[in-house]
Structure 1
Amino acid sequence: MKVLTANRLTDGEAIWYAGARGWAETIAEADVAGDKAGEAELEAAGKAAFANNEVVDVELIDVELVDGLIRPVRLRERIRAAGPTNRLDLGKQARTAA
């Protein structure tokens, strides 16, 4: 399973592609691709957003579902999804809804 992530060009915020809803600030809202066709759709959306100067560093990342929640496989992506590991009061992890 994969999701599409990028950084918003205007402020550098880590974001995830959420289909018709556009780009979301939390990975929980991301569209998950479970096959090659889904991955191709995500890649096409990422290329279009990059071409429109909306995002940079577009990348498909591996995820897994843990208790119904999307969880990145790589530690780097877990940190991008949550926030700094040395300050739990900062980043997305500090938001009450995250």
Structure 2
Amino acid sequence: MARDFTPKVVTASDLLEGDVIYLKADDGWSRDLAEAEVITDEAHAQLRLLDAERLANKVVGAYLADIAPSGSGPQPVHFREDFRRRGPSNYPHGKQQDLPRTPTR
């Protein structure tokens, strides 16, 4: 029995800056998961991944990531994707640059 297809987004790393990026429906890239194209068909997902892999001069490591659609945009279903979308885990650069610093002991 075939499993249901889990919705996906195409994600990669920006070749020059290293940031996590997501493929949008208009073939552009965004650093915001909320702007990513949510793919609900397996064949379409494979085609979109091929599209991304052809852009080796712009992106590296493209792959399909499982997501859960929500009212506020796609949400990661795996810890790794949740961690990646938040940006670097060290301060003060990347997506976390504007976050308040927590005191260290």
Taking structure 2 as the reference length, the TM-score comes to 0.73
Deviations 1:51-93 (A, max 9, x none): xx11111110000023342111111110111235687x86436
Cα 1:49/1:29, change in 2 over 3 Å: same
Where structure 1 has 5 or more consecutive residues not aligned to the other structure, the ranges are none
Higher radius of gyration, 1 or 2: 2
Where structure 2 has 5 or more consecutive residues not aligned to the other structure, the ranges are 1-6, 100-105
1:54 aligns with one of 29, 54, 58: 58
Whether contact under 8 Å (2:13, 2:61) holds in the other structure is yes
Higher helix share: 1
Instruction: State the alpha-carbon separation in 1 of the partners of residues 95 and 70 from structure 2.
Output: 19
Taking structure 1 as the reference length, the TM-score comes to 0.78
* Matched pairs, number: 93
Higher strand share: 1
